A and B are shown apart, each in its own frame.
Chain A
C-alpha cells in the first residue's frame, strides 16, 4: 500500500485552485496528516494551466510525486493533461456539466489506459448557488473522500469567511454540508487516509513565507525589492507584516536601486534583506561588490528559476550556483546558504542575518521556484531557542579616534552606526584607509585586501556542516544541495527499505566549503552521485575544485521541473560509468 496519496487540483488560472488547495491543505494539516504541496504554473500544452499538488499521508513526506491518486479537474482539459499520471486506483472528479460526448471520450480514454480509474461526475451547479462556491464543493467532496472530520472543514470555512460579508459564512457552510453529504452517498471506491494520530497545531507555510519569518525573527527592518518570480513572495510577506512588526519595505525602481538602498539602510543600522531571482541578482552584482568593499552586512535571497536571460520564468532550476559564487567584481568573502526544506528556509535566513553582521559582508540565501512555492506543515518555530543575532554597537569611548576600518587580528573592525554619537562613520567604495577615506597608498591597499579576506576565517568558524543521513559507510552516497534534499532523501529511504546501503549528504551551505567536514565520507562511499537541478553539474564541479573530489556521476535535471524521488530512482537504474547519460533522459 502506498504510504501517501497525491491529490492534484488542476485548472485554469482564476478558477480558485489555490483557494481550494489551501483550504484542503489546512484541513489535512489540522487533522494530523503530513502534507507537501508543490505548485506548478504549468503550460506544457497551452497557457494558463495551473496545478496545485497536495501529497498527504502519515510519516515523513519531503517531496512531491508525479503519480496522481485523486485528480480534481476544474476544467475538462485537465483530464487529458494528467491522465498519464493517474495511478491504477485513481479517482477523477469532473463537473457533470462536462458530460458531453467529448468529455466522455476523454474519460473513456483515461479509463482504457488505467482500467480502474473512476470518474465522479460532480453536479457543481446543483450543489452550489454560483460559480464562486465551486471551491467549497470541491473541498467538501475531497475532504469526505479522504475521510477528514467535517468539524475541521466547518471550522476552516467559518474562519475563512467570517471577516467578509456576514451571510457568506452561512452560504458557504450550506454548500460545504451539501457537498460533503453528496460525496458520502457516492459509490465510487476511494480508500480514505488511514486514521491519524492527534497532533499539535502546525503552520502551513511555503518557502518564501518561512524566509520572511526567519528574517523577521532575526530583526530584519528593511527590505527593498523589484518584483521577480519566484522571489516576490518574500517581499510580499514582509510587506504584509511591515506595519505590525515595524519594518520598511520599498519596491525600488530597479534591482540596482534595491541593493544600494539596502546597503544604505544597513549602513545606518537597519538589518536589510533583498529578495530577487537570477536576472535581478545579475543587476545586483555591483551592490554585492560594494558590500564586499565597504564591509556592509547584507542578506540577499536568490530564488532561482531557469535561465539564461528570462528563461522559464515560472519554473525551477538550480542553475545559478556559479552566479552566486562569483557575482561581484574583485575579491571579497561571502557566504552562501542553501536551505533544503521550508523549516531550513526559516533557520538559515535567521542565521544569514547574523552571519552578515558577523562577517560584515554579503550573505546569500539560495532557493528556487520549487522550494519557494513548496508548502509544508511545520510546528511553530521556537523563538526562545533562537540565538540573538549580533548587532552593531552604537557608541565608543573615544569617538574622535573611531576608525570604521581599523586593522584588527581577525579582519573584523568594530562597526558603529552614523549619527548615534560624536564618532563619524566614513564608508568608501574606493580603496580606503582605516578611517574610510579614499587612498591610493598601495601599501594600505594590500593591507586592506588582506583584512577583508581575513574575514573568511570568521565565516569558516560557523560553516554549517552538510547533514548526513545513513549508515556510517555507504555503498551509494547521494549528494545534494538546496531544494533537492526532499526528493533525494525520499529516494535514499526507498532504496534503504529495499536493503541497499544508501547515504545522503545534504549541503545547506555551499560556500565557503570546509572539506574536512565531508571529504572522508565521500571517500568512504563506493559510489557517489551528485543530484542537482542544472545541466552542467555546477556543485559537482565545486567539489572537484575545493575538495579535489570527483563524484562517480551526476544526475541532472534542467527541463524546468523539480526532481521527484521517482526521477532519481529511475536514473539510478542506469548503468553507472556514463556520467552524461542522465542528461539526455531528463533534459529534453
Chain B
C-alpha cells in the first residue's frame, strides 16, 4: 500500500500561506486513503498556479494548455479506462477558458474527478477578475468592480444533473480529503469546487472571510434529492455550505456506452485483418 510519502514532497512556486498547500496535502491523503499507487494516477491540469499542483506530486502528469485539462483528461480516460484520472486546475482555467469543456464534461459523465482550486481571482497573472469573482469586487483589471455576475459552478453542475457535486474548503483539509476520496470513489464525473484564499491577490475572499461563512452540510441533507441539492448549491453569501451537495449514482457513465471500453485499454491492440477485409468487401 502506498503512503502519503510515496506521492512525494517538492519545493513549490506558491506564495507562503497559499491555500494550494493544504489542498495538496488533502489530495495526497485522499489518494492514499483510496489505496492508489502513484503510477495508477493521472493528474491532468491546465495553466495557472493551481495547475502546477501535479508537478508537486509523484504521479503521471498531463499538464496541458490553459482551459483544456478536461478534453485531455477525457481522451486519456477513454484510451485507458484503468487510469484513475483527476483534473486539477483553478477557477479561471476551469470555468473561464475551459467553460465550454466544463459544460460538455457535465453532459458526458466520464469517470473523472475534477478538483477546482477556486480562489475567485486570477493569481498567476496577478489579480484580474475570474468567472467566480463576486459581482462588484474591485480588482486590478476591474477597478470599478467586476461588472459581470459571478459564475456558480456548483449550481450549474447540479442544474445539469451532474452525478457528484461537492464544495470543499482549503481551510478544512481533513474534510476536503474526505470529499476528494468520495469524489474519486464515485463512478462518473465528480466535481469538487474548493474554496481557497489567494493571499496575494484577493483581499476580499480571505481565509477569515471563508472561515466566517462556511458551514458543514448537515447529515439530514439528501444529496439524491435534486431540489434539496439545488437549494444548497445556490447558497453563496453570508453562509456557504461545504460537503457533498449532490450524488446521483444512477447516471450511466459515458464509458458504458462504448462496448470496446469494457475490454480494457485501447493500446496494444492490433487491427483485426479479417474484420478490415470484410469492411473492404462492403465497398465492392
Residues of A bordering B, CB below 8 Å: 26, 30, 201-205, 209, 213, 216-219, 221-222, 224, 241-248, 250, 252-254, 256-258, 260-270, 272, 286-287, 290, 294, 380-381, 383-384, 388, 391-392, 394, 399, 417-430, 436-438
Distance in angstroms from A222 CB to nearest chain B CB is: 6
Complex Cα gap A428–B61 (Å): 8
Choose one: B44, B75, B269, B271; the contact of A218 (CB below 8 Å).
B271
CB distance A222 to B263 under 8 Å?
Answer: no
* B:226-284 near A, CB below 8 Å: 258-261, 263, 265-273, 275-277, 279-281, 283-284
- Tell yes or no: B38 within 8 A of A by CB: yes
Residues of A within 8 A of B275 (CB): 244-245
Residues of B within 8 A of A219 (CB): 269-271
Distance in angstroms from A396 CB to nearest chain B CB is: 12
CB distance B104 to A201 under 8 Å?
Answer: no
CB distance B258 to A248 under 8 Å?
Answer: yes
- Stretch touching chain A among B62-70, B132-140, B199-207, B214-222: B62-70
CB distance B78 to A436 under 8 Å?
Answer: no
List 27 A–B pairs whose Cβ atoms lie within 8 Å, in order of A's numbering. Answer: A26-B284, A30-B284, A203-B283, A204-B284, A209-B283, A213-B280, A221-B79, A222-B266, A245-B271, A246-B263, A248-B79, A248-B260, A248-B261, A253-B103, A256-B68, A260-B71, A264-B74, A269-B267, A290-B68, A380-B277, A394-B267, A399-B39, A420-B267, A424-B59, A425-B61, A427-B64, A438-B55
Residues of B within 8 A of A426 (CB): 55, 60-61, 63
Contact flag A257-B100 (CB < 8 Å), given A381-B280, A429-B63: yes
- Tell yes or no: B211 within 8 A of A by CB: no
CB distance B52 to A438 under 8 Å?
Answer: yes
Residues of B within 8 A of A202 (CB): 284
Q: A217-B271, A268-B80, A383-B271 are in contact. List 20 more A-B contacts (CB 8 A).
A: A209-B283, A242-B258, A252-B71, A256-B68, A260-B64, A260-B71, A261-B78, A263-B64, A263-B75, A265-B266, A268-B79, A268-B83, A270-B80, A270-B266, A380-B284, A394-B268, A424-B59, A427-B61, A429-B65, A438-B52
Residues of A within 8 A of B280 (CB): 203, 213, 380-381
- A440's nearest neighbour on chain B, judged by CB, is B13
Residues of B within 8 A of A421 (CB): 39
CB distance A427 to B63 under 8 Å?
Answer: yes
CB distance A216 to B279 under 8 Å?
Answer: yes
CB distance B79 to A425 under 8 Å?
Answer: no
Distance in angstroms from A568 CB to nearest chain B CB is: 30
CB distance B267 to A261 under 8 Å?
Answer: no
Complex Cα gap A263–B104 (Å): 18
- A425's nearest neighbour on chain B, judged by CB, is B60
Residues of B within 8 A of A384 (CB): 273
Q: Binary interface profile of B, 38-54, with partner A (CB < 8 Å = 1, else 0)?
A: 11101010010000100
Residues of B bordering A, CB below 8 Å: 37-40, 42, 44, 47, 52, 55, 58-65, 68, 70-80, 82-83, 100-101, 103-104, 258-261, 263, 265-273, 275-277, 279-281, 283-284
Residues of B within 8 A of A267 (CB): 62, 72, 75-76, 79
Complex Cα gap A203–B277 (Å): 11
Contact flag A424-B267 (CB < 8 Å), given A245-B272, A261-B74, A290-B64: no
Distance in angstroms from B100 CB to nearest chain A CB is: 5
Distance in angstroms from A373 CB to nearest chain B CB is: 15
Complex Cα gap A383–B277 (Å): 8
Distance in angstroms from A247 CB to nearest chain B CB is: 7
- A438's nearest neighbour on chain B, judged by CB, is B55
Distance in angstroms from B69 CB to nearest chain A CB is: 9
CB distance A264 to B83 under 8 Å?
Answer: no
CB distance B103 to A261 under 8 Å?
Answer: no
CB distance B75 to A224 under 8 Å?
Answer: yes
Distance in angstroms from B233 CB to nearest chain A CB is: 23
Most buried by A among B74, B83, B281, B284: B284
Distance in angstroms from B258 CB to nearest chain A CB is: 6
Distance in angstroms from B62 CB to nearest chain A CB is: 5
Choose one: A205, A257, A399, A424; the contact of B71 (CB below 8 Å).
A257
Residues of A within 8 A of B75 (CB): 222, 224, 260-268, 270, 272
Residues of A within 8 A of B265 (CB): 268-270, 419
Distance in angstroms from A249 CB to nearest chain B CB is: 9
Residues of A within 8 A of B279 (CB): 213, 216, 241, 244-245
Most buried by A among B59, B79, B100, B281: B79
Residues of B within 8 A of A430 (CB): 63
- B261's nearest neighbour on chain A, judged by CB, is A248
Complex Cα gap A264–B62 (Å): 8
CB distance A265 to B76 under 8 Å?
Answer: yes
Choose one: A30, A244, A247, A428; the contact of B266 (CB below 8 Å).
A247
Residues of B within 8 A of A257 (CB): 68, 70-71, 74, 100-101, 104
Residues of B within 8 A of A213 (CB): 276, 279-280
Complex Cα gap A46–B284 (Å): 35
Residues of A within 8 A of B39 (CB): 399, 418-419, 421-424
Complex Cα gap A274–B267 (Å): 18
Residues of B within 8 A of A218 (CB): 271
Residues of A within 8 A of B283 (CB): 203-205, 209
CB distance B267 to A268 under 8 Å?
Answer: yes
Complex Cα gap A399–B62 (Å): 18
Distance in angstroms from A163 CB to nearest chain B CB is: 12
CB distance A264 to B79 under 8 Å?
Answer: yes
Choose one: B47, B78, B272; the contact of A265 (CB below 8 Å).
B78
Complex Cα gap A200–B88 (Å): 57
Contact flag A246-B277 (CB < 8 Å), given A265-B76, A421-B39: no
In the A-B complex, the 4 residue pairs with the smallest Cβ-Cβ separation, listed nearest first, are A269-B267, A264-B75, A264-B72, A261-B75
Residues of B within 8 A of A265 (CB): 75-76, 78-79, 266
Residues of B within 8 A of A422 (CB): 37, 39
CB distance B78 to A383 under 8 Å?
Answer: no
Contact flag A424-B38 (CB < 8 Å), given A244-B275, A269-B80, A381-B280: yes
Distance in angstroms from A424 CB to nearest chain B CB is: 5
CB distance A424 to B64 under 8 Å?
Answer: no
Residues of B within 8 A of A418 (CB): 39, 42, 60, 76, 80, 83
CB distance B80 to A419 under 8 Å?
Answer: yes
CB distance A392 to B267 under 8 Å?
Answer: yes
Residues of A within 8 A of B44 (CB): 264
- B100's nearest neighbour on chain A, judged by CB, is A253
CB distance B83 to A419 under 8 Å?
Answer: yes
